[in-house]
Amino acid sequence: MIDERARFGKIKTGKKPGIQTKTAEELYKSLKEDVLTAPKRVERRGILPCAFGKGGTCCRVCNMGPCQVVEGVEELKGICGASAATVTARNFARMVAAGGSAHSDHGRHVAHIFYEAVHGDVPFEVRDKRKLKVVAQALGVDPNLPEDEMLKRMADSALSVFSQQEGEIILTHRAPKPLLEKWRKYGVVPRGVDREVVELTHRTTIGVDQDYKNILLGAARCSLADGWGGSMIATELQDLLLGNPKPIKAKVNIGQGVLKLDHVNVAVHGHDPLLADALVMASYDPEIIASAKKVGAKGLTLCGVCCTGNEILMRKGIPVAGSFIQQEVVIATGALEAVVVDIQCIMQNIVEIAKNFHTAVITTNPIAMMEGAIHIPFDEKRAIEVAKEILRTAISRFPQRNPNKVTIPNNSIDVVAGFSHETIMYILGGRFRASYKPLNENIINGKIRGIAAIVGCDNYRVDESLQVELAKELIANNVLVLATGCSATRLAMEGLLSPESAELAGPGLREVLEAIGCPPVLHMGSCVDNSRILLAATEIVHTGGLGDDIYQIPAAGCAPQWMSEKAVSIGMYFVTSGVQVVFGPSFPTLGSKVVTDFLFHEIEKYFGGSWRVAGNANEFANIMIDRIDEKRRALGIDKPKPRVLFDMAMRRALEEARYVPPFHGLGCFGPHVPYKQETVEVSK
């Protein structure tokens, strides 16, 4: 049995599955005993999910099954003779296809709006002119064309990437040359994501591709169409339309100021920042503010949940009330007039929770509707009008709010978010020599041991302190942490996104961070924004001194609480781009040693990256720091650094001492002026 499987056997799914932060425990109490919440459902179902489903060996692609397959037992192959390796590879590939399609359908939507914006059909315009030429070049458009012409060609190019039938999608040419050559050698340079997803879904149906390696290489190709295609287009065009994030001070977690007792409170939840942006614009409208006042409120307050939250936090400084596992508890405050949802990660149960209060659940996308919700379709041509209609619906609920049912704990915390890959250049290089050179230099001289990305979801079945313990252990060992998605929100709630938490860093990292007033965990955005990390890694390679390919950088990535198929696609495009990715506490192919061996070991010979699984913070940290050290050795920059070993007492101390730092501003950046509720109040 391979080591990872042995380790999996010992993995616990969490000390107290379903029990979350004090905020959540407190707020769930406001619900009647018989209301079923997600944590209660975890408790009532028991801890362990089906082992066949979990390990990837349940085949349900035809109606002779479902077949539960056991590796190495001839009688327990599928009825059709499918081996555990084939079944597991198929299931894994289908997760990649589904996850990649979610990011990329989002990206296509953004590309459509970009197209309409440059043709003057929607009330959005290109706000980030500085980035424009870079993205034009990346899309194969001459940046010296007159701006109008350039924009139109960019819009055509971006849209055509999705449906490209043959040849290499142009954005893959941003990757370091040696990496692109490897992709070419193994035939995984992607065509458009539409083709890759359809092909991968086809080849994993009954009786098509039955060679597990071939299926997994197909998954690699599909994942690249997401990371270097659909997701990258989403990020780049959102930056052009909404502005490239820069460090911004804001609040995270449920608390006064995030939700306001005397305001109409509206949460935006999902992944589409364009809808959220329209809501922000509409919230300034004097007519909307007057309507709120008419029903007895002092104003209107917006907050975010999940990745929509991350997007508006990064660009507007609008607070994030919660991550994925807090979507129910935000409603359980009783203080929300509406939760406005778009696509992805919206739990059906929120409608049931909302029924206990006056809260309206408003769906906005025709592909993501919910029984029991109000549907107000977001037509981007009438973006502001629709946004106002949504806000008016929320306002109309305010008089129904029951003050006795409202609990707003005071748990919000100040954070600094908004670290795009371009911003990192300015932060580390300073305004006058914007470059990754200082970052590379500090990695080479050993002050920064390496870089770790903590990305992806949180999960009701996993002890939520895992990410936090891991981040603290990494930064104590001089590893700079990049975070996206709900992981970033979780780390934010623990104070790790403040410059003052540099105190928790090892001496080398701390010295670098304190010189520039930078937090030890850099919030790089939502899940599609993991493409920023690909570009940051590429920039590090191009800057020099750390090898000529991504796999050589002293870096590792992880998703310690992954739950969505999107995380599998993200992990796969990082592995195929040369990064070691650690998932936990489970991995979806552990039912097949053959497939797991390929993904954990053999694939490294192809692309330089590989998968791992870990069960607790210490295992994650060990794997990631070992990888970083191995890369330092290979580069010949492995000056010995004492390793801080965390014993149980230190771990307990970390858990007990929730770090709530004072906030002193943003070092060299000074406070960036955030959009906030204050703005709403000003326009009385």
Q: Which residues bind ligand BF8 (CB under 6 A)?
A: 271, 306-307, 324, 344-345, 456-457, 485-486, 526-527, 564, 566-567
- Pick between residue 569 and residue 589 the one whose CB is nearest to ligand BF8: 569
Pairing of strands 320-322, 299-305: parallel
- DSSP conformation letters of 18-65: T---HHHHHHHTTS-TT---HHHHHHHH-SPPPHHHHHT-EE-SSTT-
Nearer of residues 68 and 569 to ligand BF8, judged by Cβ: 569
Q: Which is nearer to ligand BF8, 232 or 502 (CB)?
A: 232
Smaller CB distance to ligand BF8: residue 230 or 456?
Answer: 456
Q: Least distance to ligand BF8 from the beta carbon of 295, Å?
A: 31
Q: How far is the CB of 467 from ligand BF8 (least distance, A)?
A: 11
264 within 8 A of 398, measured Cβ to Cβ: yes
Smallest distance, Å, CB 265 to ligand BF8? 20
Measured over the CA atoms of residue 187, residue 99, residue 622 and residue 534, the dihedral's sign is positive
Give the nearest distance from C-beta 215 to ligand BF8 in angstroms. Answer: 23
Q: Closer to ligand BF8 by CB, 99 or 519: give it.
A: 99
Nearest-10 crossing angle of helices 231-242, 129-138:
150
| Nearer to ligand BF8 among residue 321 and residue 395 (C-beta) | 321
Token digits of residue 626? 């070992």
Q: How far is the CB of 567 from ligand BF8 (least distance, A)?
A: 6
CA 321 vs CA 64, 354, 376: distances in Å: 46, 16, 23
Nearest residue (CB) to ligand BF8, 462 versus 509:
462
d(CA 352, CA 25): 18
Residue 360 Cβ vs ligand BF8, minimum distance, rounded to whole Å: 21
Instruction: Decide whether 324 or 551 has the Cβ nearer to ligand BF8.
Output: 324
* Cβ–Cβ < 8 Å for 502, 481: no
Joined tokens for residue 344 = 């992805």
Closest CB to ligand BF8 among 189 and 567?
567
Q: How far is CA 252 from CA 97, 415, 448, 466, in A?
A: 32, 7, 27, 19
Nearest-approach distance from CB 564 to ligand BF8, in angstroms: 4
User: Closer to ligand BF8 at the Cβ: 409 or 456?
Assistant: 456
**Residue 488 C-beta: closest distance to ligand BF8, Å:** 8
269 vs 388, beta carbon nearer ligand BF8 = 269
Q: Answer yes or no: are the C-beta atoms of 527 and 323 closer than 8 Å.
A: no
For residue 304, the minimal CB distance to ligand BF8 (Å) is 10
Task: Give the DSSP per-residue string, 478-506.
Answer: TEEEEE-HHHHHHHHHTTTTSGGGGGGS-
Distances (CA, A) of 235 to 168, 244, 359, 425, 524: 20, 9, 31, 17, 11
Cα gap 134→125, rounded to integer Å: 17
SS3 for 361? Answer: strand
Nearest-approach distance from CB 302 to ligand BF8, in angstroms: 18
- H or E element at residue 393: helix 383-397
Question: In the complex, what is the shortest distance from the CB of residue 41 to ligand BF8, in angstroms, rounded to a whole number?
Answer: 17
Measured at the alpha carbon of residue 275, what is the angle toward residues 273 and 278, in degrees to the nearest 5?
105
Find tokens 């503010």 and name the residue: 289
For the sheet containing 450-454, what is the strand order? 521-523, 479-483, 450-454, 555-559, 580-583, 610-613
Picking from 87, 89, 49, the residue whose alpha carbon sits closest to that of residue 66 is 87
Query: Which C-beta is closer to ligand BF8: that of 526 or that of 577?
Result: 526
* CA 393 to chain centroid: 30
- Tell me the closest approach of the beta carbon of residue 397 to ligand BF8, in angstroms: 25
The minimum distance between CB 102 and ligand BF8, in angstroms, equals 8
**How would you classify the pairing of strands 320-322 and 450-454?**
unpaired
Question: If DSSP codes are grouped into helix, strand and coil, which group holds residue 105?
Answer: helix
Backbone phi and psi for residue 200, each to the nearest 5 degrees, phi listed first? -70, -35
For residue 131 the two structure tokens come to 């980035």
Q: Which is nearer to ligand BF8, 324 or 378 (CB)?
A: 324
